[in-house]
């Protein structure tokens, strides 16, 4: 089919029906561009179309767990989850993965922790130091990271010494 | 048919051991596949402190696997106290074991904690009760990762919820001989049960010994899963195997006895024995002991299954054995034990 405006082959064909009347337009590449009609295949689809709705992409695709940095794609590949926080970050996608692994089961009905453990002084200090250490490593403050690591080591030595003293006292009494 | 020797252990003619285990992870700590060296060391320190503080068993031994020799780690695998994965991993990892070897708690295996209770014979109820007691004690000291919808959180989605896995290690030689094993495996699949070999995940069956365990850990209570295992699955497995043994006794009694006695004779006279061959022959002798065809206790055979493994032989020899020496020592050990 030839272009409506010249003898070149038409590459754009537009058919519209207005008031029950059918109208056809056939244009070659040059005349189509001059008319502001884009040519399929030359532009990305989102630029080609003016009216489109961005579908709800899965919440998790490409996002990382803020706690451990894992993506859902990595979880799916190895069937291994990164940390407790992943269960909140990827709640929707993990739901179907869990149901598949559990032959359709989706909710826990068994035991629940009967007492929320209160972290002791050692754990609280260790957790605080770990967070500071992570932040120091991320900020590439290696000298500070080394100091924090030494403090963590000392903390664990102190705990062991304290335990040994306690055991010594108990066996001596 | 004469009754097997050690009647004190429930259903020991078919069931070697029963095991209950839990997968548990600590809140606020990344799982091991995302943990730094320091973070996995911190889990170890926390766990070690609790293992030694809490009265988990009469006497609990703590072992840092990095400090053990490869031979010691292999010994623990052969005794089913740690997994092969745990022995071979490069992470900071440890294990707490009760001195009677009924309890073991692997730290930094796939999950932060894998708590197991193992007993000889069909004693799932006892292992379950002890496991729940240990879990309650640990919970007083540790903050477990828990989610309102998914329960106890695990590294692998196959373990979330209760985190509980029951396993029964069964000896099924008659089902194998009568070609009925495939039927059992199909039925197990329909019931969402996993059937594995002597050393669990990824291992082949050796000596007609299979581990059967539940695959579903979510959507049912621990008690419901346990009850199904204790009241239907284990009795059904025992029943199938005993029926197959009865069929063999009735239809092919001489053939069956011939196989048992030949195996016994080879074990009594062999000078070199490979582990697979020994397991296979011991399996027939175990069947003979269970049916009263061989004057031997099931306990002796079950202990031999462990003692003939490579690390145990090396340990006994107190040296690194050459391949040939290992075959020779295995044959000697079996001959001596059977002649006692």
pLDDT band at A49 (very low <50, low <70, confident <90, very high): very low
CATH number at B15-240: 3.30.590.10
Q: Where are the domains of chain A?
A: 12-42, 58-101, 121-163
pLDDT band at B275 (very low <50, low <70, confident <90, very high): very high
Q: Which residue ranges does chain B devote to CATH 3.30.590.10?
A: 15-240
Whether the pTM exceeds 0.80: the reply is no
pLDDT band at A14 (very low <50, low <70, confident <90, very high): low
CB–CB of B216 and A103 under 8 A? yes
pLDDT tens sequence across B170-212:
999 999 999 999 999 999 999 999 998 877 666 666 789 999 9
Task: Please tell me the predicted confidence (pLDDT) of residue A121.
Answer: 65
> Do B147 and B34 form a contact (C-beta atoms < 8 A)?
no
Task: Please tell me the predicted confidence (pLDDT) of residue B128.
Answer: 98
Over range B148-157, report the average pLDDT.
95
What's the Cα-to-Cα distance from A139 to each of A136, A142, A148, B152, rounded to whole Å? 5, 8, 14, 34
Within 8 A of A76 by CB-CB distance, chain B residues are: none
Q: Which of A87, A105, A111 sits opposite B222 (nearest CB)?
A: A111
Pairs of CB atoms within 8 A across A/B? 137
C-alpha–C-alpha distance, residues B11 and B240, integer Å:
13
On the question of pLDDT at A134 being above 50, the answer is: yes
Residue B160 touches chain A, beta carbons under 8 Å:
yes
Residue B55 touches chain A, beta carbons under 8 Å:
no
Beta bridge partners of B26: B144
On the question of pLDDT at B129 being above 80, the answer is: yes
Q: Please provide residue A49's backbone torsions phi and psi, each rounded to the nearest 5 degrees.
A: -105, 140
Task: Please tell me the predicted confidence (pLDDT) of residue B7.
Answer: 59
Within 8 A of B34 by CB-CB distance, chain A residues are: 68-70, 82-83
CB atoms within 10 A of CB B209: 22
Task: Please tell me the predicted confidence (pLDDT) of residue A154.
Answer: 80
CB–CB of B143 and A116 under 8 A? yes
pLDDT band at B125 (very low <50, low <70, confident <90, very high): very high
What's the complex ipTM? 0.86
CB–CB of A83 and B144 under 8 A? no
Q: Please provide residue B167's backbone torsions phi and psi, each rounded to the nearest 5 degrees.
A: -135, 145
Over range B9-30, report the average pLDDT.
96
CB–CB of A84 and B147 under 8 A? yes
Within 8 A of B53 by CB-CB distance, chain A residues are: 163
Task: Please tell me the predicted confidence (pLDDT) of residue B324.
Answer: 94
């Amino acid at each position: 089919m030839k272009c409506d405006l010249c003898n070149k082959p038409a590459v754009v064909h537009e058919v519209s029906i207005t008031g029950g009347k059918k109208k056809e337009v056939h244009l070659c590449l040059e005349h189509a561009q001059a008319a502001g009609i884009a040519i399929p295949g030359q532009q990305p689809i989102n630029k080609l179309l003016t009216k489109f709705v961005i579908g709800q992409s899965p919440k998790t695709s490409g996002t990382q767990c803020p706690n451990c940095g894992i993506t859902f794609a990595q979880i799916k590949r190895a069937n291994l989850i990164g940390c407790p926080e992943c269960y909140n970050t990827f709640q929707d996608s993990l739901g179907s993965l869990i149901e598949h692994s559990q032959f359709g089961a989706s909710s826990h009905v068994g035991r629940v922790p009967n007492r929320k453990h209160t972290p002791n002084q050692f754990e609280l200090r260790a957790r605080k130091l770990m967070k500071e250490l992570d932040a120091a490593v991320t900020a590439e403050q290696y000298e500070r990271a080394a100091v924090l690591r030494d403090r963590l080591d000392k903390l664990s030595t102190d705990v062991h010494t304290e335990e040994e003293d306690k055991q010594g006292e108990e066996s001596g009494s | 048919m004469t009754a097997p020797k050690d009647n004190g252990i429930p259903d020991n003619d078919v069931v070697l051991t029963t095991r209950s285990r839990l997968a548990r992870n600590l809140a606020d700590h990344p799982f091991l596949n995302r943990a730094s060296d320091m973070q996995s060391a911190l889990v170890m320190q926390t766990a070690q402190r609790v293992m030694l503080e809490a009265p988990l068993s009469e006497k609990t031994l703590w072992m840092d696997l990095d400090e053990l020799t490869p031979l010691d780690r292999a010994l623990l695998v052969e005794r089913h106290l740690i997994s092969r994965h745990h022995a071979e991993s490069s992470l900071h990892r440890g294990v707490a074991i009760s001195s009677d070897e009924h309890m073991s708690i692997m730290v930094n295996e796939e999950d932060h904690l894998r708590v197991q209770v193992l007993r000889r014979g069909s004693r799932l109820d006892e292992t379950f009760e002890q496991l729940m007691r240990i879990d309650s004690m640990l919970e007083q000291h540790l903050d477990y990762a828990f989610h309102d919808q998914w329960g106890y959180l695990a590294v692998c989605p196959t373990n979330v919820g209760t985190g509980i896995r029951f396993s029964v290690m069964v000896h099924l030689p008659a089902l194998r001989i009568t070609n009925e094993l495939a039927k059992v495996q199909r039925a197990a699949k329909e019931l969402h049960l996993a059937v594995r070999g002597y050393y669990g995940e990824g291992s082949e069956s050796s000596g007609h010994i299979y581990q059967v365990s539940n695959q579903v850990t979510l959507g049912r209570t621990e008690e419901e899963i346990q009850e199904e295992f204790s009241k239907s699955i284990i009795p059904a497995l025992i029943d199938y195997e005993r029926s197959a043994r009865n069929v063999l006794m009735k239809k092919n009694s001489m053939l069956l006895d011939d196989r048992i006695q030949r195996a016994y004779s080879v074990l009594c006279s062999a000078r070199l024995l490979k582990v697979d061959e020994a397991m296979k022959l011991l399996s027939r002798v175990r069947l003979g002991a269970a049916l009263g065809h061989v004057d031997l206790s099931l306990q002796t055979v079950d202990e031999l299954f462990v003692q003939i493994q490579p690390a145990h032989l090396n340990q006994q020899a107190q040296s690194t054995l050459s391949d040939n020496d290992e075959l020779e020592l295995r044959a000697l050990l079996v001959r001596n034990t059977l002649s006692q």
